[in-house]
Chains A and B, each alone.
Chain A
Amino acid sequence: MSRNKELLSKIGLRLDGRRANELRRIRCKLGVFTEPDGSAYIEQGLTKVLAAVYGPHQVRGQRSKAQHDGALVNCQFSMAVFSTGERKRRPRGDRKSTELSMHLQQALLAAIKTELYPWSQIDVYVEVLHADGGIYPACVNAATLALIDAGIPLKEYVCACTASLANNDVPMLDISHQEEAIGGPTLTVAALPMSGKIVLMEMSQRFHLDHLPKVLEKALQGCKDVKNILDEAVRLHVQDVGSSTGWVIKN
């Protein structure tokens, strides 16, 4: 399969018609639920993710987990059983979900100013509705939006993006499921795009050392692009909410 499919055609278009450095279409919405303190919905191409944030609130369950110097961030990742091509057996609790939960927690901890909420807990729930490649980045981006919606102070946006190599040569951004299946290694990066700090980096296979720098650079560029899109959405949302309470927007 991999032999007769090229990820990037001679004309420079990918299988779905994007160019190598283009993200998939991102559409997002904040405040989609009323029950949680903050919520968001994001579509990256066909990958669709919902995120909800509860808290900060008192530590529930094991009290002993509470920390005196900061809030506890509890992440739960789950995938709807209908989100993949073949139905999944269980939506959460399998190895992959647990791993993704941990990674999500790691990325969010880097951005949330946890020190402001000692002895308390913040719960982040993400649910994948449709998986079409780049699940983890979509979850991070959705969680960021939900945290913003919940009004939890962040150091800055935390954004994630994937990148891979086309035809063993050209780095390309935001890998879809089809490309994941045919192509080589995928690099997933979660970063604080404004300061340029990397908070999580993962490779699905080994990259040759010659390739890694350019793929990484591409992925970071992707994170910055994602941040701009999220920022715009947040501003629009705030305008929306604000205008209902009588704000006047000065341009």
Chain B
Amino acid sequence: MFTTKSFIKKNKIGNYLKHVREHYIRDDIFCGFSCCETCSLVESSLTEEYVNKCSLFKFNHYLILDTNIILEQMDVLEEPIIGNCIILHTVLKEVKHRSLPIYKRLMSIVDNPSRHFYIFTNDHHKDTFMPQKDGELINDYNDRLIRKACSWYMDHLPNKKFVLLTDDRANKNLAKEDEIPAVTTTEYVKHLDEQVALGDKLKKKDSEVQKDAKSIFPPHLSTSAMLIGIKEGKLYQGTFRASRDNFLEGFVNVEGFEDNVLVQGRKGLNRAVDGDVVAVQMFDKTEWVSPSEIVLEDEGVSEENIKDIQKNENELKKNAKNSKKDEIRPTGCVVGIIRRKWRQYCGILQGNSDGLYQIFVPADSSIPKIRIETRQAEFLRSQKFIVTIDSWPQHSRYPHGHFVRALGKIGQQSTENEVVLLEHDVPHSQFSEEVLSCLPKLPWLITDDDVKKRVDLRGIDICSVDPPGCTDIDDALHCRPIEGDRLEVGVHIADVSHFIRPGTALDLEAASRATTVYLINKRIDMVPELLSSNLCSLRGGEERFAFSCIWEMDKEANIINTRFHKSIIKSKKAMTYEEAQITIDDKSKNDSIAQSLRNLNMLAKILKKGRLQKGALVLASPEVKIRMDSETMEPLDVEIKKMFETNSMVEEFMLLANISVAQKILEDFPDCAMLRRHPTPPSTNFDPLVKAGKHLGFDMKIDSGKNLAQSLDDATCETNPYLNTMLRILATRCMLQAVYFPSGAMQKDEYFHYGLAVPLYTHFTSPIRRYADIIVHRLLAVTCGADSTYPNLLNKQKTVELCQNLNYRNRMAQYAGRASVAFNTHLFFKGKVQDEEGYVLYVRKNALQILIPKYGLECNLFLATKGETSNIFEYDEDNQTQKAGNLIIHSFDRVVVRMSLDSKNIQHEKFTLQLVEPFIEGFSVQPLGQTEMEVDTNEAKTDKKRKSTSEKGNNKRKS
């Protein structure tokens, strides 16, 4: 049967177009029940063995879900207690249209056979399809289709029971008229057995509003009113960003505006949450104010009481009145929300109050506190857990949310790791059965067939050099003299693409993970451990498959020729950087490995020199290593990573291999070679560096990478040996992120890698921990005839999408790694007070930003409490100095500071610094171990407070 659907849609230019689409109605769609005699058997996981236990119904029943249930109660549906659900195609389409993330979650439930979900294509079935009536709203039409499908099921299988689950009251009533049993989720879940935890996960609807509740917030405009307002230019659309320091302040980034729009106060923010797309109304210019400098923390405990907010608001207003003229910003207020960007938030429970309603404090301080309903408050108090926001009604001070799941005990390593992974969107679940089934069976043996296809390099003395404790060894090296006074140098990379075939579940999983994530005491692998630490890892003394890149070089490190092939190698020894260094330095050792290492080291030095001459940058970032106690998993010590000559040796050859491979694959795949580029930063990025250089009397040339490298080399100071490193750290911060891209997506001159100063670069050398390298391996395998292509490899669009994911995941993995270091450093410092050497990185108005190289930490040393000016220090904005008496503090000056950890806020521990050296009367503290052995930090704090209050007094007099 055949019918048409027609609808009218507006196109991009603003014309209205009528679309007519075909719609086929079929007679070969089946109900999905194995016991049904009229329908043929289809693949379906509905089963009679599974019983939905709900005391509302005295019989086993099958659930038919309405759209709103899926959209809003996904957290409940993900519980395995609910099964035997029929998802109608109408519902599925609507869900997909409204929210893609929810759709994905639903599909993963449907794909899980143990959940017994079935998709019934009701809109193409001859008995359940009905045409849309004239003037019928799409929602009503969908509801009608859902009810029709329910009655069809009931007629079709009279001895089975069906229940329609819907939260839409109108739909429920209409269903009752048609004699379809229908219940809401709240009712249903309440009557389920084992419902305690499930009840918390229910999303609460606004139905329980008391009529007399006073509204705290002004109402939002309707969507149409907002759209009209925006069109007429009365309102502006923008993204709301909440302030981290002041819960009653935020900004709206409006496109086309130079400045962000400031919004203040409860009415100004009007229930916007960080990230939401909102409509703002601008105030008159006379009412514009400057951003407040005060810190306000939401201290409210109860839901109804808003007195303290009002007090805070008054304070804010007072502040606004005496705002300085030159800092006035465009000001406005939020009048409506265009799109919510709510996600799931990690956090903890506030306080010790009893009762059903609890306040949840998110870890992200730009997110407001959330009210949740829970029956397990006692348990949750000790936990970090996840909550989502459901709604924010007008009469409620806090948004309403519901509990999703607990992560673990507060402050525990495993919990914090989990939080770090979740906050950075790192996929870290166990590998699924399907993925594991793609792995080769053990014992894994090399067959004669394999030997035939590969070059046998088992006789060559190859060794690997890695950090200690490394189990995923993906590179190994060799170097041997050959005829004509030349050297043959080989880089051998684990042949991961041999094990991960394109299109398999394993491949898809690795592509989605994109990279291995390293936390301090945990590694989240990109590929299962069997591959990463065993079959692919080039362990010493074992035969392994490798992809080799072999150069013939002369003694001046000029490449005479390059070749690539797959090979079988047997690494003689897996060494650490330190071992390799000792082997090179130990003159008594003269075996083949020592010799080849020496040759490699010699070549590497030449290569490095050549590279630096071309303008490659040597940058620095403070990297630290945290030594862990292997039993208690507590950090023992924090130290800077040690660097050996061999580090640079291995790096040099990896760079060379990457460059050689990049040239090769671009030659053969001009359109879809996966490359890596590092864009030249815009010159404004270098402003802080140039400024800092000027103050110190160095002229920083930033017009090209080469000049920058030269300037950095020249900027040394004899009295302050650390100064050069500091400048390099600053330069690192000016850089942009390097990214992967397919060669077809960019112009040739954009391929440039700024940091390395090479025209072409890619990643080839770490396929065990980076997916990009696997792709490069596959491309290279094609060019040397070892493998064949597959469609997605050559598809530019697909490669662009893949690159986007890789770049995103890499960035997140980097952030996650840093967050993990930060947490462990905090853990290490808990309860410790130490004096440490540091350097001033930036001089700010009310603080010195201090870098402590020993721990790679960067902290603020506040010269006065926030929002106040100090009466000891004088700030010179032009020269970026702070003056106290006759002592002037410049950028890059050496200082000694006392560090302690401020754990007042469990979720946001931070370091407090106090100046020890240079000694400034009335500000600095005595060094530890001199006068008082243990300075009571509390006393110091009260001391500070007293000081700041006196400063306040001073200020008032001044103004």
Query: A: which residues have CB within 8 A of B?
Result: 2-4, 10-11, 13, 15-18, 24-25, 45-46, 85-86, 132, 168, 176, 178, 208, 210-211
Contacts and interface: CB of A to CB of B under 8 A. Distances in A.
B382 interface: no
B717 interface: no
Given A11-B119, A25-B2, A86-B15, A17 B25 contact: yes
Nearest to A133: B22
Given A13-B121, A86-B15, A168 B22 contact: no
A3 B805 CA distance: 13
B791 interface: yes
Given A10-B119, A17-B25, A17-B124, A46 B789 contact: no
B794 A208 contact: yes
Contacts of A211: 791
Nearest to A84: B17
A17 B791 contact: no
A3 B801 CA distance: 10
B6 to A, nearest CB: 10
Interface in B110-137: 110, 119, 121, 123-124
Contacts of A85: 17-19
A172 B795 CA distance: 19
A91 B532 CA distance: 62
B23 A168 contact: no
Given A11-B119, A13-B124, A86-B17, A210 B791 contact: yes
Contacts of A18: 24
Contact of A11 (B4, B17, B121, B795): B121
Nearest to B97: A4
Contact of A45 (B22, B26, B794): B22
Contacts of A17: 22-26, 121, 123-124
B557 to A, nearest CB: 41
Interface string B88-109: 0100000010001000000100
B430 to A, nearest CB: 24
A168 B801 contact: no
A108 to B, nearest CB: 28
B119 to A, nearest CB: 6
A24 B23 CA distance: 10
B15 A168 contact: no
Contacts of A210: 790-791
A208 B119 contact: no
B121 A168 contact: no
Residue in A3, A11, A168, A178 with the greatest tally of chain B CB atoms within 10 Å? A11
Residue in B15, B24, B25, B26 with the greatest tally of chain A CB atoms within 10 Å? B24
Contacts of B119: 10-11
Contact of B789 (A11, A24, A178, A208): A208
B643 interface: no
B511 to A, nearest CB: 14
B590 interface: no
Nearest to A15: B21
Given A85-B17, A168-B791, 15 more contacts: A4-B100, A10-B107, A13-B124, A16-B24, A17-B23, A17-B26, A17-B121, A25-B22, A46-B4, A46-B20, A46-B21, A132-B20, A132-B22, A208-B790, A208-B795
A150 to B, nearest CB: 30
B22 A46 contact: yes
A178 B791 contact: no
Contacts of A4: 96, 100
A132 to B, nearest CB: 8
Given A11-B119, A168-B792, A208-B794, A16 B25 contact: no
20 contacts: A3-B801, A4-B100, A11-B119, A11-B121, A13-B121, A16-B21, A17-B22, A17-B24, A17-B123, A17-B124, A25-B22, A45-B22, A46-B4, A46-B22, A85-B18, A132-B20, A132-B22, A168-B792, A208-B789, A208-B794
Nearest to A2: B797
A16 B20 contact: no
Main secondary structure of the interface of B (DSSP, over half): mixed
B207 to A, nearest CB: 32
B740 to A, nearest CB: 19
B791 A208 contact: yes
A11 B117 CA distance: 13
A54 to B, nearest CB: 32
A211 B20 CA distance: 31
B804 to A, nearest CB: 11
Nearest to B121: A11
Contacts of B100: 4
Interface in B1-59: 2, 4, 11, 15, 17-26
Interface in B776-799: 789-792, 794-795, 797
A25 to B, nearest CB: 5
In order of increasing CB-CB distance, the 4 nearest A-B pairs are A208-B791, A17-B24, A17-B124, A16-B22
Contacts of B107: 10
Contacts of B19: 85
B923 to A, nearest CB: 58
Residue in A2, A13, A17, A210 with the greatest tally of chain B CB atoms within 10 Å? A17
Contacts of B801: 3
Contacts of B789: 208
Contacts of A86: 11, 15, 17
A232 B443 CA distance: 62
A45 B107 CA distance: 31
A36 to B, nearest CB: 29
B742 to A, nearest CB: 15
Contact of B22 (A11, A13, A176, A208): A176
A231 to B, nearest CB: 21
Contacts of A168: 791-792
Nearest to A4: B100
A17 B124 CA distance: 6
A121 to B, nearest CB: 38
Contacts of B25: 17
A208 B671 CA distance: 14
A203 B11 CA distance: 28
A102 to B, nearest CB: 29
Contacts of B24: 16-18, 25
Nearest to A14: B24
Contacts of A208: 789-791, 794-795
Interface string B73-99: 000000000000000010000001000
B778 to A, nearest CB: 14
B800 to A, nearest CB: 11
Contacts of B794: 208
A3 B96 CA distance: 12
B23 A16 contact: yes
A2 B11 CA distance: 17
A168 to B, nearest CB: 6
A246 to B, nearest CB: 36
A68 to B, nearest CB: 48
A18 B28 CA distance: 11
Contacts of A16: 21-24
A4 B119 CA distance: 19
A3 to B, nearest CB: 7
B32 to A, nearest CB: 10
A46 B21 CA distance: 8
A208 B794 CA distance: 8
Contacts of B121: 11, 13, 17
Contacts of B791: 168, 208, 210-211
A2 B89 CA distance: 20
A37 B119 CA distance: 53
A46 B110 CA distance: 34
A204 to B, nearest CB: 14
Contacts of B124: 13, 17
A178 B19 CA distance: 10
A208 to B, nearest CB: 4
Nearest to A206: B794
A179 B23 CA distance: 13
A15 B801 CA distance: 24
